[in-house]
Copies of this chain bind each other. A is one copy, B any other.
Amino acid sequence: MADKKMVEAITSMEEDFAQWYTDVVKKADLCDYTSVKGCMVFKPAGYAIWELIQKQMDARFKETGVENVYLPMFIPESLLEKEKDHVEGFAPEVAWVTQGGLQPLTEKMCVRPTSETLFCDFYKNEVHSYRDLPKVYNQWCSVVRWEKETRPFLRSREFLWQEGHTIHATAEEAEARTIQMLDVYADFCEQVLAMPVVKGRKTDKEKFAGAEATYTIEALMHDGKALQSGTSHNFGDGFAKAFDIQYTDKDNTLKYPHQTSWGTTTRLIGAIIMVHGDNSGLKLPPLVAPTQVMIIPIRQNADGVLDKAYEIRAELLEKGFRVKVDDSDKSPGWKFAECEMRGVPIRIEIGPKDIENGTAIIARRDNGEKFECAIKDLAAKVEELIPTIQKDMLDAARARRDSQTFEAKTWEEFKKTFDEKSGFVKAMWCENRECEDKIKEELAVTSRCMPFDQEHIADTCVCCGKPAKKMVYWGRAY
């Protein structure tokens, strides 16, 4: 009964994808709503995924010379206003602090929606000579954007992220760092989250407020909608000029430095859910699974069963895997369903009969495969399975993404594809804002990016028929 009820409680993704998502988030115990409108609680199962993302991404940052810092969460209004495009982009969606203690503030401050202005203010004090450059800093923190509609992990008024902010002597160095960090993100998504992404540049319409160029990684969800999964911005010397940051170069002249910023957020957890999940719940790539192996004893009250389960756990822990034994008083069936719902990559079943035979059952969450394994070989088998599952999940996600990626040469084809299918559509563009606006208005579709890997789909813009300049990934997005 209980097993059935648990499985029944999830809406199938084919029936209602949005409801499926909400059900998984809730049933896999990742987060909860709160009395604070638009904000969420990261519960242990959800926060543990974020910790694994942080740990592995931070290590990759540090390999490229990134140093972590922490800047204040408040931005005085006058500071936010210094860069014109930036304040226009963010002022409408910030939370304002107007009172500190029992006194009204003389100048109101917003809670950071992003920290470019704070880093500029900081760098203005730190950077005087070419010897002070570059600075390659990052911070892990939360930011606030006063969104009207919110969804767990995808859009909330407060979310967790990392924001890198760098400052360089030359434009070339800044551009190189912008691309380098985009590459770090793309590799991380593929290798750690088993999630393929398209790398490219945003159009002017879609770029970050105050940036010269914004680069993005775009992933495709199970429902064919795109998710912007990380961005990297090159600011040129625009912020430096707005904040009057100058340095003395080797030739003894004053120059403006060049800046970048780049960020990823807890929205990556939403991406994991929507790229890998199925109608039994979450599917976690082993590298970000808080529990990689769940051992479920069968007839656990029988002599020696729990002892054997703990023994196997000890052996796997010893090897460095994240392992648990579910020794609760629920039925094995209920435990299986829960283990699937929570996305645990490997399940090991062991009962009295198995012990007699010196074997156990291994079940893979990613493809449902189930097979027998000698108890003495379990550790070696798990060691082999972890990278295998990681790779198979990436391959499966890539195949699905490719099957949901289309091409269109003409407006009719373009419209028909978006009417009938869901996914990325590759099509040519003349680089005029008008066409982008029209596509958004008529099809509710946005340009996701101008991919680095340009292809020649047609000679003409899919919208206006004039000569095309760029191939663009178009899609409906979260």
Q: Determine if B76 and A35 form an interchain contact, defined as CB atoms under 8 angstroms apart.
A: yes
Evaluate contact between A121 and B71: CB separation under 8 angstroms.
no
Query: Interface digits, A121-145 against B, CB 8 Å rule (1 contact, 0 not)?
Result: 1100110000000000100011010
Contact between A109 and B36, CB atoms less than 8 A apart: yes
Are A73 and B42 in contact, CB atoms less than 8 angstroms apart? no
The contact string, 1 if C-beta is below 8 Å from chain B, for chain A 68-87, is 11111111100100000000
A23 within 8 A of B: no
| Given A94-B101, A95-B97, A97-B111, A72 contacting B146 (CB threshold 8 A) | no
Q: Are A98 and B101 in contact (CB under 8 A)?
A: no
CB distance from A266 to the nearest CB of B (A): 9
Residues of B within 8 A of A160 (CB): 70
Residues from chain B with Cβ under 8 Å of A51 in the complex? 68
Most interface-central of A44, A50, A76, A122 (chain B CB within 10 A)? A44
Q: Is A315 an interface residue (CB 8 A)?
A: no
Contact residues in B for A69 (Cβ distance below 8 Å)? 41-44, 47
Residues 90-114 of A contacting B (Cβ, < 8 Å): 92-102, 108-109, 111
Q: How many residues of A contact B (CB 8 A)?
A: 53
- A39 to B121 CA separation, bound complex (whole angstroms): 13
Q: Which residues from chain B contact A108 at a C-beta distance below 8 Å?
A: 99
B70–A47 CB distance below 8 A: yes
Q: Which residues of the partner chain B approach A94 to less than 8 Å between Cβ atoms?
A: 101
B97 and A96 contact, CB distance less than 8 A: yes
| Cα distance, A47 to B68, chains bound together (Å) | 7
Contact indicator A42/B67 (Cβ below 8 Å): no
Q: Does any Cβ of B come within 8 Å of A118's Cβ?
A: yes
Judge if A360 is at the interface, Cβ distance under 8 Å: no
Q: Is A34 among interface residues, defined by CB-CB distance under 8 A?
A: yes
> Cβ of B36 and Cβ of A72 under 8 Å apart?
yes
A residues 369-406 in Cβ contact with B at 8 Å: none
Return the chain B residue nearest A51 by Cβ: B68
Give Cα distance in the complex from A32 to B118, angstroms.
13
**A48 within 8 Å of B by Cβ?**
yes
Within 8 A of B (CB), among A264-295: none
A-B interface, 3 closest residue pairs, ranked by CB to CB distance from nearest: A39-B72, A44-B67, A101-B146
Chain A residues with CB under 8 Å of chain B are: 32, 34-36, 39-44, 47-48, 50-51, 67-76, 79, 92-102, 108-109, 111, 118, 121-122, 125-126, 137, 141-142, 144, 146, 148, 157-158, 160
Given A39-B73, A43-B69, A44-B137, 10 other A-B contacts at CB below 8 A? Answer: A34-B121, A34-B122, A35-B121, A36-B72, A36-B118, A41-B69, A41-B122, A44-B67, A47-B68, A97-B98
15 contacts between A and B (CB under 8 A): A36-B109, A42-B70, A44-B69, A48-B67, A48-B68, A72-B158, A73-B73, A73-B111, A73-B158, A74-B95, A74-B158, A95-B97, A95-B99, A97-B111, A98-B99
